[in-house]
Chain A
Amino acid sequence: MPYKNFCLVCSGNQCESAKSEEIFKELKKTVTDLNLGQEIQVVKTGCFGLCTQGPIVKILPDETFYVGVDTGDVKAIIHEHIIGGQTIERLKFKGKAPGKDPRHYQKQIRIALRNCGVINPEDITEYIGRDGYAALGKAIFEMKPADVIEELRKSGLRGRGGAGFPTWLKWKFTHDVKDQSDEVYIVCNADEGDPGAYMDRSILEGDPQSVLEAMTLAGYACGSSKGYIYIRAEYPLAIERLYTAMSQAREYGLLGDNILGSGFNFDIEIRLGAGAFVCGEETALLASIEGERGMPRPRPPFPAVKGLWGKPTVINNVETYANIAQIILRGGDWFSQIGTEKSKGTKVFALTGKINNSGLVEVPMGTTLREIIYDIGGGIPKGKAFKAVQTGGPSGGVITADHLDTPIDYENLVALGSMMGSGGMIVMDEDDCIVDVTKFYLDFSVEESCGKCAPCRIGGRKMYNILNKITRGNGTMEDIQHLKALAVPMQKASLCGLGQAAPNPILSTLRYFEDEYLAHIQDKRCPAGVCKALVTYTIDPDICIGCTVCSRKCPNNCITGERKEPHFIDQERCIKCGICYKGCKFGAVKIA
């Protein structure tokens, strides 16, 4: 006998602490008392990702979403809603998001990710069944190339790879000069290198056809017959699925010669990159496709006019392409209704770090960080305090708790000293040391510098050395001045985005967390307890009960003490691994 209704009670961290367990029991009891156990199933679920509104009860099959539920509301839910069929308005979630569907509560809209997790990426017919190649058919048979570009202009789509250059303008530049060249190229930048970012990989793994369709559209709009996908070799699954997708598209006459019988020819080749961060920069990427070493060249001329083998080249990021078919199909006006005034549409973020629900998040531009981190991401684990969020990867910067309510778009992030970048979003809590994190990003930029221009090659290394000195407790006040004096010229003088953006983490952390730098320099102290040279672990004799866990776990055997007596750490021999700190159940080990 199947159930008629289901009551889903969220038992994520935060709902649990807000007594969702009691609500669960009360619901079960009520159902049993009313002898409805055969018709209503009450179940506990994982986090729904709306932790600020908890406790949450969701009723299926009608998908009603009740928030802020109290044990006193249980009777109303069963009697009024399930038996009486009346929705309880006062408990219903009233989100800001548009639409009447209660699913809107999560504040996400999937455009670029529309097919990820829905279709089989290795079956082109499933993609076709989800509006796939409808845009291509519409463009080829009903629109002129200029119309396609006009539709993109209306949409307001901007590059999702970093700087946010208007996509239509890139296409138009190429479209306007295509007659002066015998060949035009369409390139897809799938060289995703930011630590913590994996949007492009997920799109290629979950929906490779959408990128192929958009590149073919670009080929039609810009008069090209040849495309390249530059993807890093570290993404074997994405590469495999791309090859499968390409061969299926050719089979159905959607790629190759005489596409859809229209006489239009376009084909795509895959080029594997070795995984150098600088190859994500467009001129370096093109050099790499040409078989040269991946190093940037000065712009202008821009690739749109003089790109691959000196020919006009359109180059866009995977996520940018993933939006295009839907824009052509639904029209630019539809797309431009989503988002903010200057930043249209949605943005995919890879939410990682100290966050409960890590994963891919696609939100309309203008969503606030608070909504992303607390409502969608489910907040910070273990009840720790939020410290900052790093956006834009090594080229971006940090945003603090003060700016959690800033609507996210290209301009606002730049104003805060960070950037959209490719969309990595790494959340940090009180246990993260800002200086150490900055050092990590700078180390990444220094390692990945191609070395062609001096500001990046030398400046980056110099700054890294200074940061290293500070984290070891040898920093001086002049070092801060030196950092600033190096950072600004490096931003101006470097040849490409890698060098220009490398100082961003330093400048933004100095702007918001200067006190933390000062603590390292003046007090020789790391407030988060991360920088080993500045940390001492001690045991508070008043709290220690002598359980001996720490002394047994210590890898260097430097904790001594009798059973049931306070223990003691030999500072001379302590290697500051922190195992005693993590292992102590009583909080007796202190970091100073």
Chain B
Amino acid sequence: MGQTPLDAINELREKKRLELHYRKGNEDKIEILIGMGSSGIASGAKNVLRTFNEILNERGITNVLIRRTGSLGLDHAEPTVEIKMTGMPDIIYGKVTQDVAQQIIEKHIIGKELVCGHIYDRPAQDVVKEPTHAL
């Protein structure tokens, strides 16, 4: 191998870092992040997750990656969902019911317009630097 375990981890980090923030090389990749801490789940995040899966399956949309994550801090607006896709700004939706989840797919993901009344702002500035260089 000739590679120390630390090198392997560092290599993995660079690869993942770009994958997490850019997802370039796969232009039409769409990401849905669902806040699934205790409070998110208590307010119905599991149903939202299921709804997203069902509708995406029904419509045959395959370029979407659904990721589960912890609490965003916007607990008053749970369940929260963040949509990242090319051509659209990253948007955090709050108070996402199954109906809103449907609207997010129809309007935001397919129609490329925002869903009224459910947009919230990122709760805080992040200290982890995003890579600024291109691939």
Contacts and interface: CB of A to CB of B under 8 A. Distances in A.
Given A46-B77, A46-B94, A201-B38, A128 B70 contact: no
Contact of A359 (B6, B13, B75, B128): B75
B76 A125 contact: no
A131 interface: yes
Given A2-B88, A46-B117, A132 B13 contact: yes
A114 B126 contact: yes
5 nearest A-B residue pairs (beta carbon): A206-B70, A129-B16, A117-B72, A108-B124, A359-B75
A395 interface: no
A118 interface: yes
Interface of B: 4-6, 9-10, 12-13, 15-17, 19-20, 33, 35, 37-39, 41, 67-77, 80, 82, 87-89, 94-95, 112-128
Contact of A109 (B6, B88, B125): B125
Contacts of A206: 37, 69-71
25 contacts: A6-B89, A41-B113, A45-B119, A48-B120, A61-B89, A108-B123, A110-B126, A111-B127, A117-B73, A118-B128, A120-B67, A120-B68, A120-B69, A129-B16, A131-B128, A134-B10, A141-B6, A202-B70, A205-B70, A253-B5, A261-B6, A357-B76, A359-B71, A360-B123, A362-B124
Interface string A147-165: 0000000000000000000
A49 interface: yes
Interface in A167-214: 198, 201-203, 205-207
A220 interface: no
A6 B9 CA distance: 40
Interface stretch (A98-106, A224-232, A283-291, A530-538): A98-106
A83 B76 CA distance: 36
B123 A128 contact: no
A103 B124 CA distance: 7
Contacts of B116: 43-45
A113 B19 contact: no
Interface in A1-36: 2-3, 6, 8, 11
Contacts of B126: 110, 114, 118
A238 to B, nearest CB: 8
Nearest to B71: A202
B127 A110 contact: yes
B124 A47 contact: no
A105 to B, nearest CB: 9
Given A49-B123, A129-B16, A207-B70, 14 more contacts: A45-B120, A45-B121, A104-B125, A108-B124, A110-B125, A110-B127, A111-B127, A115-B128, A117-B69, A120-B67, A137-B6, A237-B37, A355-B76, A358-B75
Nearest to A348: B73
B12 A125 contact: yes
Contacts of A101: 125
Interface in A381-421: none
A133 B128 contact: no
Contacts of A201: 37-38
B9 A252 contact: yes
Nearest to A202: B71
A128 B9 contact: yes
A121 B69 contact: yes
Nearest to A326: B127
B5 A129 contact: no
A109 B119 CA distance: 21
B111 to A, nearest CB: 9
A496 interface: no
A206 B75 CA distance: 13
A129 B20 contact: yes
B68 A122 contact: yes
A125 B68 CA distance: 14
A125 B75 CA distance: 26
B95 to A, nearest CB: 7
B93 to A, nearest CB: 9
Nearest to B80: A117
Nearest to B9: A133
A254 interface: yes
A78 interface: no
A362 B35 CA distance: 17
A121 B68 CA distance: 8
B53 to A, nearest CB: 16
Contacts of B124: 106, 108-110, 113, 361-362
B89 to A, nearest CB: 4
Contacts of B38: 198, 201-202, 205, 235, 237-238
A48 B94 CA distance: 11
Nearest to A352: B75
Contact of B89 (A60, A109, A126, A357): A60
B44 to A, nearest CB: 15
Nearest to A140: B6
Given A48-B120, A104-B125, A106-B123, A3 B68 contact: no
Interface in A45-68: 45-49, 58, 60-61, 63
Interface string A241-269: 00000000000111000001100000000
B73 A362 contact: yes
